[in-house]
Structure 1
């Protein structure tokens, strides 16, 4: 089972080109689509979920034409958008049974059995009769996954699923997604690097509507080993380094600035080698594409960012 996306493009009526000749090969399992806000991730997700038309290109889920056989795709699709509405006065059990009915589960007994199994799966069974308006953010996200799983989907799309969750809920959500991804194509669209690091066997980095990098996270990270260097300094020293080095990122630790830079050779000046991580790869890839420094680096240096953004 696999999803193949070929030369997909989309331009909105306001002239913004949200997708630019996107091609991806997505195998069974968890696939991370990583990019900054406004990169085009949501535009790609909405196109694959048949919520909007592409201008050109194609997408195939095995032998199913995703863009032209929309009704067939919807029968095997589970979708959890970044924001979704719930009926606040309706219980989780009642709404899930209604959704199951809409998805073609005609037998009342079969619906009840399916919904109870899903509620157990997402750890909401003890709260099944509570009104959805009383649910926490994490509980609502788990409900969203439950509704996406109705009908045994072959393709599941989740868009920014852990944004706003506390660490406990986020960890619980990670475990649930990992279990689901064992037998299904699951696309995880996010700007949170750790989510991809912990969950995904394959991934792509997207920015300004273009795919910049794709492959296995471990392989992508390996290609950057030996080229990441760090130095801890006072904020006043930061500006002096911006003009001389390819800056990857900066962070504060103990009131001082920790700067990561990219260099194929030893940059000297007190820098020391550090093991590359997916965050280094991500920031370096984005910075190279936009020809700009990370916003947090500019902010720390007292400068203003001048990086174009793209509405997803």
Structure 2
């Protein structure tokens, strides 16, 4: 089974074109959707999850027409939105049992067994009697994955799942997503480049509602390798370098500003070549798209 998106468009009432002729084919496994805030990631995820209508285009999940047969999609969909609310005074066990009943799992004994298995899987079984309001951010995200896994979904969408998590919870969440992605289509929508680097074998970069790059992370890195140059400068020198070179990123290190520049050849002798990474790909592609927008 694969998810196929063709010529998808969505413009909101205020004139913002959130999805602009989007085309993607997403196979089974972990798929990273990378883009800055406001790029259209959440709009695309909400459309796939049948939470909003598209203006035009098509989405198919295997033989299912996602835009027309929403009930069929919802039966095999797990969704963890960016803003995942919980009832603070309800225990994890009771809340998951309630969601399971809403998903059509009517036998009480079956629900009890399933809820226990899922809480074990996300390492929350020992906290099953605790109210959700006492959970940390990472625990709430793991509970969110547990509810998304109810009903054995074939497509799971997680929108900005690691934002705000501490390193320990983030690693735990990464491991859980990797395990789920072995047999399921999992779309990881994020602006955190490292999450996609660590988790995904296939990915796309979206900007201003358009897919501007797609492929295996390593392949996308190879496309820019040999064209990324670095130099440490004083902050006051930055405007001149922005004027003279195609600066794709800046980072403060040890009191000085390290700049990365995209250039087919060495800009001058003061620059040294660096091995490109996915962050360089990301900033290069986003910069190209934004430059086109200004033309």
TM-score in terms of structure 1 length: 0.93
Say whether 1:180 aligns with 2:180: yes
Correspondence for 1:102: 102
Correspondence for 2:202: 202
* Cα distance in structure 1, aligned partners of 2:192 and 2:84: 20
Aligned pairs for 1:113-262 (under 5 A) are 113-262=113-262
Correspondence for 1:32: 32
**What SS class does the counterpart of residue 84 from structure 1 fall into?**
coil
Correspondence for 2:285: 285
* Cα distance in structure 2, aligned partners of 1:62 and 1:277: 33
* Cα distance in structure 2, aligned partners of 1:231 and 1:121: 46
* Cα distance in structure 1, aligned partners of 2:243 and 2:102: 59
Unpaired runs of at least 5, structure 2: none
Say whether 1:10 aligns with 2:13: no
RMSD, aligned CA: 1.1
Unpaired runs of at least 5, structure 1: 293-306
Shift of 1:271: 0.2
* Cα distance in structure 1, aligned partners of 2:239 and 2:49: 45
**What SS class does the counterpart of residue 97 from structure 2 fall into?**
helix
- For each residue in 1:62-96, what CA deviation from the matched residue of structure 2 results, as whole angstroms up to 9, or x when unmatched? 11111111000000000000002211100000010
* Cα distance in structure 1, aligned partners of 2:73 and 2:288: 36
Q: How many residues align?
A: 294
* Cα distance in structure 2, aligned partners of 1:167 and 1:85: 22
**What SS class does the counterpart of residue 265 from structure 1 fall into?**
coil
- For each residue in 1:201-237, what CA deviation from the matched residue of structure 2 results, as whole angstroms up to 9, or x when unmatched? 1000001111100111110001111000000111122
Shift of 1:269: 3.8
Shift of 1:238: 1.7
* Cα distance in structure 2, aligned partners of 1:210 and 1:240: 31
Shift of 1:44: 0.3
Correspondence for 2:41: 41
* Cα distance in structure 2, aligned partners of 1:256 and 1:109: 62
- For each residue in 1:110-129, what CA deviation from the matched residue of structure 2 results, as whole angstroms up to 9, or x when unmatched? 10000000000000000000
TM-score in terms of structure 2 length: 0.98
Correspondence for 2:263: 263
**What SS class does the counterpart of residue 8 from structure 1 fall into?**
strand
* Cα distance in structure 2, aligned partners of 1:266 and 1:85: 50
* Cα distance in structure 2, aligned partners of 1:253 and 1:11: 41
* Cα distance in structure 1, aligned partners of 2:223 and 2:36: 22
* Cα distance in structure 2, aligned partners of 1:64 and 1:154: 12
- For each residue in 1:236-276, what CA deviation from the matched residue of structure 2 results, as whole angstroms up to 9, or x when unmatched? 22222111111110101111111100010111241000000
* Cα distance in structure 2, aligned partners of 1:215 and 1:40: 19
